Amino acid sequence: MSNPLVSICIPTYNRLALLQAAVQSCLAQTFTDFDIVITDNSDRDDSEQWVRQLNDPRIRYHRNERNLGGAGNFSKAISLARGKYVKLLMDDDLMKPEFLALTVAALEKHPTAGVAMAPMDLIDVHSAPITPRFYLVKRMHYRYRYRVGDGLIDRKTLLRDFLTRDYPCCVPSGVLFRKEFFDRFGGNDPAADFGQDLDLCMRAAVHYDFYYIDQVLSSWRYFPENHTATLHRSGYPIHVFYYITRKILSDPEARRIFAGENWQRLERQSYYFASCRCLLNLQAALFRHDPRIIASTFATIWREDPYRTNLLRLPFSVLGEVWTGLFPAKLPPPPRDGCF
């Protein structure tokens, strides 16, 4: 397939069983104009043997000569994409059968949209549905339930939410990108560390509207060996939140988007939100019974957040998280069928 409409990019590393499930979710799509690019950091050949046995011309398998790391493996997969649209799929996640049909239709109909996004449900290592408790108090039923109802989200609204309120999307398995975004603005930024997926989405929001589909179209696998679960237990390198915030705020296009607004207020709110995200490490401190993580977290906040009043507001953020965890907003579940 020389010119598929969508390239599904799956970087993988020594997880054959999970890779098999991810690929099967691709082959089960109702939309069929796609190819699959698998880039493999593995140090064994079982994944390659399995892919060869499938003998499916839509699958292009590339075994890296050396381990490129997570970011390098993603970048390699994107560089091999041929489609008009790029679907990044983590090798431990799944797509629902209608994912490509609905997200491609959304981007085809809305040319200003560079990304289509949708909520994700959560599954365990056996693909069973779960509702884990995040941040000690929040029961997570869906990831990235942005609003009720489908719709085009203008980039100013979206970018403000990314910077100051919450992440409308982040995990690559839940979004579809126009490939022109990567061609024009590049791929992963290694300096963003664990936040490379967030960095990608925020940079896209500087230049494109997003289309939100209020339907669960993918599954995010959450289990003890999952990277996010590991960070919850061990602690985040929280300087990354500030790195991404500074990067976006310094982008001339972002400044143009918010021209005429009180820039200092937006900047202060953006740093406050970054500082709130840093409080994720309090969970790791409790898990490991290590007060040094608490001391290190507040030292980083003091060093990175230029607005000292933000530090005084942080206790109210903690109370707010507890309150919304105990008394979550009552939203209707996402409908089964997306519409435009």
Handedness of CA 298, 302, 307, 308 (dihedral sign): positive
Beta strand pairing call for 209-212 and 113-117: parallel
Looking at the structure, do residues 106 and 192 belong to the same domain, yes or no?
yes
Look-up of token digits 């050949």? 45
Looking at the structure, do residues 209 and 293 belong to the same domain, yes or no?
yes
Which of 65, 92, 119 is the endpoint of a domain? 92
Over residues 159-169, the mean pLDDT reads: 96
In this structure, of 78-92, 98-112, 137-151, 168-182, the range with the lowest mean pLDDT score is 137-151
Compute how many other C-beta atoms are within 10 angstroms of the C-beta atom of residue 110: 17
Looking at the structure, do residues 4 and 150 belong to the same domain, yes or no?
no
Looking at the structure, do residues 260 and 137 belong to the same domain, yes or no?
yes
CA atoms of 55 and 47, how far apart (whole Å)? 13
Looking at the structure, do residues 319 and 192 belong to the same domain, yes or no?
yes
Looking at the structure, do residues 81 and 114 belong to the same domain, yes or no?
no
Looking at the structure, do residues 207 and 122 belong to the same domain, yes or no?
yes
Q: What is the pLDDT of residue 29?
A: 98
pTM for this prediction: 0.93
Query: 71: closest CA among 94, 88, 83?
Result: 88
Looking at the structure, do residues 159 and 292 belong to the same domain, yes or no?
yes
Helices (H) and strands (E) counted in the chain, each on its own, are: 14, 13
In this structure, of 28-37, 180-189, 317-326, the range with the lowest mean pLDDT score is 317-326
Looking at the structure, do residues 78 and 123 belong to the same domain, yes or no?
no
Q: What is the pLDDT of residue 229?
A: 81
Looking at the structure, do residues 69 and 138 belong to the same domain, yes or no?
no
Range of the domain at 182: 95-340
Alpha helices, DSSP H, located in the chain: 16-27, 46-54, 69-79, 99-109, 155-164, 179-185, 196-207, 227-234, 239-249, 252-257, 263-278, 281-288, 291-304, 308-326
Domain count, the chain: 2
Which of 69, 92, 115 is the endpoint of a domain? 92
Looking at the structure, do residues 49 and 181 belong to the same domain, yes or no?
no
Question: Could you tell me the two tokens for 223?
Answer: 């289990």
Name the 3-class secondary structure at 327.
coil
